[in-house]
Amino acid sequence: MRTLSLAAIAVWGAALAGIGSAAAAPNSGAVYAVTYFEAAAPDIGKVAADLRQFAAASRNEAGNVSFDAFEQIDRPSRFAIFESWQNKASADAQNAAAATVAFRDKVQPLLVGPFEVRNLTGFSGTGAHAEGGRDAVYVLTFVDVFPPGKDQAAALLRQFAEANRKLPGNLLFDVLLRVPGIGNHFTVVEGWRDRHAFDASLMAASTREFRQKLTPLEGALYDERLYHALW
């Protein structure tokens, strides 16, 4: 797997609507997003194989920073992709690339629903990260808070990320902000050396303090999902 730059996903056209609104991170021009999709049970293996091939091809596209594919640990029918592109122009070119069109056409009929895209901008992190091995665990968490608490939540998330990057076994810990929006929807992306390191992080003082303070601000349940990388 290529080193994650947390970053995420340029969008794949009408089926992955939203590339036009993908935001550039301050001072970088980079485009980030995250995409989720779920395969029908009989087609999990085929979707996984197609996704591996698509990820490999996309990494060779001009302007790509990172392109990583994941399968949810406790529900293998669910997949996620993280992409980072140098700018919107390179993201748009990816959208029109032959590999993107082929992937979309092959996979869409095998899914139980449409691709779900979250366009994002950098908030905390998105720098270079440690490489993960085959035992690595990656975590995607969607954080939704009521608008009046967005500034408090932002401060809590920044502190949380800074503290947990220092924990044993951490590979990455980045926070992204959804765009367009009003600043109350975040995506947290974590990488851990293995499941033991992740489980230990849950009992760290920084995690417990963060969750205790965040919960009263939440507009939706804390949506945390664990993944393995698709090699």
Judged against a pLDDT cut of 80, whether residue 82 lies above it is answered with yes
Q: Tell me: domain 14-122, CATH 3.40.50.620, correct? A: no
Taking only the tens place, the pLDDT of each residue in 176-201 is 999 899 999 999 999 999 999 999 99
105: pLDDT strictly greater than 60: yes
CA 17, 23, 24 angle in degrees (round to 5)?
140
pLDDT in the model for residue 146: 98
Q: What topology does CATH give the domain 132-229?
A: Alpha-Beta Plaits (3.30.70)
pLDDT of residue 208: 98
Instruction: Tell me what pLDDT residue 43 has.
Output: 98
Distance CA 152, CA 192 (A): 26
- ∠ CA 8-9-10, nearest 5°, is 135
Check if 14-122 and 132-229 are the same fold.
yes
Query: Cα(201)–Cα(114) distance, rounded to whole angstroms?
Result: 33
pLDDT at 27 over 50: no
DSSP summary character for residue 210 = H
Give the tokens for residue 134. 């085959």
Q: What is the 3-state secondary structure (H, E, C) of 15-67?
A: HHCCHHHCCECCCCCCEEEEEEEEECHHHHHHHHHHHHHHHHHHCCCCCEEEE
Cα 42 to the center of its chain, rounded Å:
25
Q: Provide CB contacts within 8 A for 124, sequence distance 6+.
A: 157, 158, 161, 162, 174, 175
The confidence band for 23, taking pLDDT boundaries of 50, 70 and 90, is: very low
Higher pLDDT, 99 or 110: 110
pLDDT at 98: 85
Predicted structure pTM score = 0.85
pLDDT of 125-177, one tens digit each?
867 678 889 999 999 999 999 999 999 999 999 999 999 999 999 999 999 99
The residues spanned by each domain of the chain are 14-122, 132-229
